[in-house]
């Protein structure tokens, strides 16, 4: 994210709110999909790109919370996540700047990133983000993002407004005080088509997109790509 993480956090729904509880439920389901997607890899090394220093929700940083072998995880973030090393012995945390990841090609079996790609900016930036994940992964990638076509925008909890053209949606957000989310660099929602196009531009091969449903709607998109099955 481009600026002032504190502004981002202060607009999040409360930890006991219905959106927060639904988010925890969906994160657990996405973790189960991750485990199934790479079940054939024995003891994979994992880089988790985009961990947060804010853990006000039950399953923030859900991979770190739920994955049984903490020593397999290298957690990466723009913010200080050093507390994760204390909370999950064996885990390694690396603080990074925006842009290229400080790792070698194929350094990890799997690159994981949840609910980050919608916060990296333009469509080009999103493709570049996927390209870096693909570069450092030896076996595959697993990326999640909210579905733009879910009827409630999950960051602001506004219904339907995000279905407007992006420029109109951002103008509306600015008018009602959501100045942080009104900037493309901080929130650029993706449809399955957008995610597919970004993956193709990033030269991700052998990928597919799954959805996680909430009632009759798809709330989250999962990009799963394999270099080696």
Share of residues in the chain with pLDDT > 70 (%)? 90
Evaluate if pTM is beyond 0.75.
yes
- pLDDT band of residue 190 (cuts 50, 70, 90) is very high
The mean per-residue pLDDT over the stretch 157-183 comes to 97
Determine the pLDDT at residue 17: 67
pLDDT of residue 2: 38
Distance of alpha carbon 163 from alpha carbon 154, whole angstroms: 13
Q: Which pLDDT score is estimated for 131? A: 98
Using 50, 70 and 90 to split pLDDT, how confident is the model at 173? Answer: very high
Q: How confident is the model at residue 149 (pLDDT cuts 50, 70, 90)?
A: very high
Task: Kindly report the number of other CB atoms within 10 A of residue 13's CB atom.
Answer: 18
- The stretch 139-151 carries a mean pLDDT of 98
Cα gap 61→55, rounded to integer Å? 7
Please give the mean pLDDT across all residues of the chain.
92
Determine the pLDDT at residue 23: 84
CA 71/CA 77 separation, integer angstroms: 17
Quick one: pLDDT at residue 4?
A: 43
Contacts with 8 (C-beta within 8 Å, 6 or more apart), sequence order: 1, 180, 186
User: C-alpha distances in angstroms, 63 versus 8, 38, 55, 91?
Assistant: 21, 14, 13, 11
CB 199 within 8 A of CB 207: yes
Domain boundaries in the chain? 5-226
Closest CA to 145 of 137, 156, 135, 155: 155
Sorting pLDDT into bands at 50, 70 and 90, what band is 48?
very high
Tell me the CATH number of domain 5-226, given options 2.40.160.10, 3.40.190.80, 3.40.50.620, 3.40.50.150: 3.40.50.150
Averaged pLDDT, 216-225: 97
pLDDT value of residue 127: 98
Provide mean pLDDT across the span 184-212.
98
Band of residue 102 on the pLDDT scale cut at 50, 70, 90: very high
Predicted confidence band of residue 54 (pLDDT cuts 50, 70, 90): confident
């Amino acid at each position: 994210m481009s600026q002032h993480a504190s502004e981002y956090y202060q607009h999040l729904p409360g930890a006991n709110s219905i959106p927060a509880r639904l988010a925890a439920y969906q994160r657990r389901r996405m973790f189960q999909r991750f485990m199934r997607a790479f079940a054939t890899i024995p003891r994979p090394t994992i880089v988790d790109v985009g961990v947060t220093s804010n853990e006000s929700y039950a399953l923030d940083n859900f991979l770190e919370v739920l994955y049984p072998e903490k020593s397999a995880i290298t957690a990466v973030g723009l913010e200080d996540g050093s507390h994760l090393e204390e909370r999950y012995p064996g885990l390694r945390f690396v603080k990074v700047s925006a842009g290229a990841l400080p790792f070698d090609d194929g350094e990890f079996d799997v690159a994981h990133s949840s609910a980050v790609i919608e916060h990296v900016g333009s469509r080009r930036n999103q493709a570049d983000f996927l390209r870096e994940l693909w570069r450092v992964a030896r076996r595959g990638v697993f990326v999640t993002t909210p579905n733009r076509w879910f009827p409630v925008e999950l960051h602001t909890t506004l219904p339907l407004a995000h279905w407007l053209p992006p420029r109109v949606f951002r103008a509306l957000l600015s008018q009602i005080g959501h100045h942080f989310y009104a900037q493309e660099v901080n929130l650029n929602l993706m449809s399955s088509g957008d995610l597919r196009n970004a993956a193709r531009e990033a030269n991700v091969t052998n990928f597919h997109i799954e959805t996680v449903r909430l009632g009759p709607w798809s709330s989250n998109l999962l990009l799963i790509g394999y270099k080696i099955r």
